[in-house]
Amino acid sequence: MRKLPTSSRRDVLLPAVLIGMLALLVLVFFISRGREKETSPVSEDTSGFEERYIIQLTDPTLKDIFDRMRNIFSAKVSSYKRCNTKSEFGSEYFYTKLDIPSAFPLPLVNQKLVELITDANYELIDAKETPSGNSLVLDIGYSGKIFHRIYVRRLSSIPLDTVEVAILIDDFGVGELDVEKQFLALPIDITPTVIPHSEHWEESFSLIRGREFLVHMPMEPEPPAKYEGEFIITADMKPDEVAGMVDSAFALMPAAVGMNNHMGSLATQKKSVMVPLLETVHTSGRFFVDSRTTIYSVAQEVADSLGFPILRLYHYIDYPESTSLATETRLIKLILDIREKGGDKIITGHTRQETLSALKNVLPLFKKWGVRVVPASKIYRKLRKWNAS
């Protein structure tokens, strides 16, 4: 057989060696990718095994955490078991996927989830954001040992549940008129409450004409304090005197749909006051909102004994010395809390510039996070319907 010249053999062998080396590199790359896929407990696409290994969680604490995340963030919750001998978890491990609407920012979701994990006395062993920026992976366990992985994803396809809340703004009649006007100009159905016979109640009353409002009834506080004005229900009043005060307030502002108490931490403790007050309000076809200025209020107890519902304040938005920033922070927490509780709550602020500024800044989140502001009467009608069923 005729041999090829040396230069010709070199020309044939060199390309063959290069092709062989390239093929080896490609093979090594795919082998390494395969190993990474085997050892990674959770990838962004886990659809290949989920249906075969879906489970029902038996750990009540974990179930509570995921139920709360479902309520707060409309999360779709799915838990799985996966077998994998090369996982750092061992031969099998458990993980839960939380798919949440994209309306909620990932840092907020992470903050709440870490809070729930910590409160449950679990150890947060590791937490990281995936390269996509729309997912989180959290490992929890005890004593440094992972027993569950939580995988959070923001998805635009997840529907957002809507809840309802009523926002009462107290102290119309004593606040600055310009601030009151700005509250009324907000693009939500706040429920203003007007103090009868207050400094400029008539001007405030004219401002709110045509919209739903409550009488903000002055009632004696504890310790007793001097009240600027004679129109106040005191703790020592007789039943007919209390009823007369309520009737007078509604005669002054007949369009009011109900009443809540201004102060009243002493008077609302007295059944001798609350029985005639609630009977008179109910007989007039209106409703009462307990401002809960004391934990010893007997309003709910009396209403139960009389056989009709009342509304109760869930939380205050602000306090006398609250800054705008503090009120904003409180509002955001309240939004999430109200979502978790299923809505139909009453929250109350006051005619303060700081409260107004905070509401303006947080309002976009109400709509974005599925919280609809409705008049207080709608919450009352739902409560009355529920009580009757």
Residue 126 confidence (pLDDT): 92
Q: b/e string for 23-61 if b means 16 or more Cβ within 10 A?
A: eeeeeeeeeeeeeeeeeebbeeebeeeeeeeeeebeeee
Please state whether beta strands 214-219 and 258-263 pair in parallel, antiparallel, or not at all (unpaired): parallel
Residue 107 has pLDDT above 80, yes or no: yes
pLDDT of 171 reads 97
Q: Are 358 and 328 in contact (CB under 8 A)?
A: yes
Identify the pLDDT of residue 55.
Answer: 67
Task: Give the fold, CATH level 3, of 163-388.
Answer: TIM Barrel (3.20.20)
Q: Which CATH number fits domain 50-155: 3.30.460.10, 3.40.640.10, 1.25.40.10, 2.60.40.10?
A: 3.30.460.10
Locus of tokens 């009243």: 264
List pLDDT tens digits, range 227-255.
767 899 999 999 999 999 999 999 999 99
**Within 10 Å of residue 365's Cβ, how many Cβ atoms?**
18
Q: Contacts for 108-113 with beta carbons within 8 Å, 24 or more apart?
A: 109/73, 109/136, 109/152, 109/154, 110/136, 110/138, 110/152, 112/69, 112/72, 112/73, 112/336, 113/65, 113/69, 113/138, 113/150, 113/152
Lowest pLDDT segment from 118-122, 129-133, 173-177, 356-360? 129-133
Q: Which amino acid is at 10?
A: R
What pLDDT score does 5 carry? 46
User: Where in the chain are the domains?
Assistant: 50-155, 163-388
Q: Is the pLDDT of residue 95 over 90?
A: no
Structure confidence at residue 100 (pLDDT): 96
Q: What are the pLDDT digits (tens) for 67-90?
A: 999 999 999 999 887 665 444 555
Domains 50-155 and 163-388 agree in fold: no
Short-list 221, 166, 210, CA closest to 189: 166
Q: What 3-state DSSP class applies to 208?
A: coil
pLDDT above 90: percentage of residues in the chain: 72
pLDDT band at 177 (very low <50, low <70, confident <90, very high): very high
User: What single DSSP character describes residue 3?
Assistant: P
Which of 141-155, 262-276, 277-291 shows the lowest mean pLDDT across its residues? 141-155
**What confidence score (pLDDT) does residue 56 get?**
74
Select from 138, 155, 168 the least CA-distant residue to 288.
168
28 has a pLDDT exceeding 80: no
Say if residue 14's pLDDT is above 50: no
* CB 246 within 8 Å of CB 258: no
Q: What is the pLDDT of residue 347?
A: 98
Mean pLDDT on 158-163: 94
The mean predicted confidence, pLDDT, of the chain is 86
What the block records as the tokens of 260 is 């809540």
Q: State the pLDDT at residue 94.
A: 83
Q: Which strand ranges, in their side-by-side order, compose the sheet holding 76-87? A: 54-55, 76-87, 90-101, 145-155, 135-142, 123-129
Task: Enumerate the β-bridge partners of residue 388.
Answer: none
Model pLDDT, residue 18: 45
pTM comes to 0.81
The phi, psi pair for 202, rounded to 5°, reads -65, -40
The answer on pLDDT for 379 being more than 80 is yes
Q: What is the pLDDT of residues 38-49, one digit of tens each?
A: 333 334 444 433
Determine the Cα–Cα distance for residues 186 and 355; give it in Å rounded to an integer.
Answer: 12
